[in-house]
């Protein structure tokens, strides 16, 4: 099992803690922001999964690409790809995308 923790600048004065855990073929992503605490897909985890390390305020921002490696072949990757495709599809409604965000949140929290 491998684990990486990042501090992320958010709307609160204190940075949010985002933890990624790779255990075999499983990837778990946790965030202590309000959305993450309620089990929702938060922008902090999604940004790192998308390869965006700009908001990382911890000294280990250079380790963010490791998360992209861990993502490959996981159910989190499948859910992220499905959500991103739906966001670009003009035939998909906001409700459709919301369902896929919940699916992504479930994959990240398992």
Two tokens at 99? Answer: 């369902």
CB-neighbour burial class of residue 103 (10 A; exposed 0-12, middle 13-18, buried 19+): middle
Using CA atoms, how far residue 70 sits from 44, 48, 63, in Å, is 17, 12, 12
Instruction: Read off the pLDDT of residues 30-89 as tens digits, 9 standing for 90 and up.
Output: 999 999 999 899 999 999 999 999 999 999 999 999 999 999 999 999 999 999 999 999
In this structure, are residues 46 and 101 in contact, taking their beta carbons and an 8 Å threshold? no
Spatial CA neighbour of 69 closest among 110, 22, 17: 22
Q: How many domains does the chain have?
A: 1
Q: Which range marks the domain in which residue 48 is found? A: 2-109
Q: What is the pTM of this model?
A: 0.90
């Amino acid at each position: 099992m491998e684990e990486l923790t990042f501090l992320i600048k958010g709307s609160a004065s204190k940075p949010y803690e985002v933890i990624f855990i790779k255990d075999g073929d499983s990837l778990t992503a946790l965030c202590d922001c309000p959305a993450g605490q309620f089990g929702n897909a938060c922008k902090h985890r999604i940004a790192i999964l998308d390869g965006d390390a700009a908001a990382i305020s911890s000294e280990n921002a250079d380790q963010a690409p490791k998360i992209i490696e861990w993502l490959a072949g996981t159910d989190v990757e499948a859910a992220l790809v499905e959500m991103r495709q739906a966001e670009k599809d003009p035939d998909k409604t906001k409700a459709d995308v919301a369902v896929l965000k919940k699916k992504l949140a479930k994959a990240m929290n398992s």
